[in-house]
A and B are shown apart, each in its own frame.
Chain A
């Protein structure tokens, strides 16, 4: 099993550009989530999904969109990048109890917005 994979690993965007961060898991997990990690702030939940076709907002959803058309994939879209979105982004997945189960994290995407 590859676990949770994320692409790209690094990305530099200009303000106003859009892009999609990819996340895929091969563990047949229902629950998937996106976090951002900023220095001194820990991880903050952006969006999450409890299954295909179901998504919900987390703590910091503004400026981000998600969709879940399959169990395996959970892409995160930045609509119009802003410097405040410079961060490390982690995708995670877990089994039927969601975040109360062990979450498996991807290796992260380091995004810089200039």
Chain B
């Protein structure tokens, strides 16, 4: 069965510093991987996704993530944090290939320090 582990339920970074949010997955088949962001009192919004092909995926708002099969990881990064990046971030992995369900991680709340 697929699963997702997000290391660190809370991460704080200074404005302008590197953002690194960690996600490791477990899947018995080639996975589809996603990062979603949730701003306060809102629903989730897709940041980026990996399906096949290039392992470095670029998303919205300057975020990117790299699929590393050997490490079963899909960490989210942004070179320079902005105050508007404060939100909760969820990593998700697809169910068995062809199935239309996702398993979400428990989320990482990102705080930006002025």
A residues engaging B (CB < 8 A)? 4, 31, 35, 40-45, 48, 50, 58, 90, 92, 97-100, 102-103, 105-108
Count A-B pairs with CB separation below 8 Å: 53
Contacts A42-B106, A100-B51, A102-B49 known; 5 new A-B pairs at CB < 8 A? A44-B104, A45-B101, A100-B32, A103-B46, A105-B45
Given contacts A42-B90, A100-B94, A102-B49, whether A4 and B104 have CB atoms under 8 Å apart is: no
Chain A residue, CB-CB nearest to B51: A100
Q: Is the interface of B mostly helix, strand, loop or mixed?
A: loop
* Per-residue interface assignment for chain B, residues 33 to 61, with 1 indicating a CB less than 8 Å from any chain A CB and 0 otherwise: 00010000111111001010000000000
User: Which of A42, A48, A100, A106 is close to B107, meaning CB atoms less than 8 Å apart?
Assistant: A42
Most chain A beta-carbon neighbours within 10 Å: one of B46, B51, B100: B100
Give every chain B residue within 8 A of A50 (Cβ-Cβ). Answer: 100
With a CB–CB cut-off of 8 A, which chain B residues contact A98?
A: 100-101
**Which A residue sits closest to B49, measured CB to CB?**
A102
CB-based nearest A residue for B106 = A42
Q: Which of B9, B100, B106 contacts A99 (CB 8 A)?
A: B100
Query: What residues of B have a CB within 8 angstroms of the CB of A45 in the complex?
Result: 101-102
A108 to B39, CA, bound (A): 12
The answer for the CA separation of A48 and B45 in the assembled complex, in Å, is: 18
Cross-interface CB contact of B104 among A43, A106, A107, cutoff 8 Å: A43
Q: Is the CB of B90 within 8 A of A43?
A: yes
Interface contact B107-A97, CB-CB below 8 Å: no
> In the complex, A92 Cα to B100 Cα: how many Å?
13
- What A residues does B90 contact at CB under 8 A? 42-43
A114 to B21, CA, bound (A): 36
Per the bound structure, the CA–CA distance linking A31 and B99 in Å amounts to 12
Q: Which 8 A-B pairs have the closest CB atoms?
A: A98-B100, A105-B43, A42-B104, A43-B104, A102-B46, A42-B106, A99-B102, A105-B44
